């Protein structure tokens, strides 16, 4: 699945199918796509990810996108993500 497919499913608001298709994509590829999507769309996609995948993707996206996502998720969700990051990734985020 490419970014065009993600944008198509977002436009159709077919979140169930998007979530299912995201499960088949490697976290590194999802991170790359999140960096290319508009902010509001990247937040939607991020929220559709499983917790484990979300943590992996979060550690791979750009610092700017990390900040955008951290401002859009609840404090509890952000704490869970940060708690699961590897120490080096956590330091990078906090800097």
> Using one digit for the tens of pLDDT, what is the confidence trace for 74-92?
777 766 766 665 554 444 5
What 8-state DSSP symbol labels residue 8?
H
- Distances in whole angstroms, Cα of residue 86 to Cα of each of 58, 59, 70, 73, 83: 11, 8, 17, 20, 8
Could you tell me if 40 and 63 are in contact, meaning their C-beta atoms sit under 8 angstroms apart? Answer: no
Answer for the pair 61, 30: CB distance below 8 angstroms, yes or no.
no
- pLDDT level of residue 49 (50, 70, 90 thresholds): very high
User: Closest Cα to residue 46, out of 76, 13, 72?
Assistant: 72
pLDDT at 85: 57
pTM for the full predicted model: 0.76
């Amino acid at each position: 699945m490419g970014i065009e497919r993600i944008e198509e499913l977002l436009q159709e608001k077919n979140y169930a199918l998007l979530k299912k298709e995201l499960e088949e994509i490697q976290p590194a590829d999802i991170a790359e796509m999140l960096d290319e999507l508009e902010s509001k769309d990247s937040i939607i996609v991020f929220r559709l990810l499983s917790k484990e995948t979300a943590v992996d993707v979060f550690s791979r996206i750009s610092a700017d996108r990390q900040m955008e996502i951290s401002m859009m998720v609840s404090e509890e969700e952000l704490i869970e993500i940060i708690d699961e990051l590897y120490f080096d990734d956590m330091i990078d985020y906090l800097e």
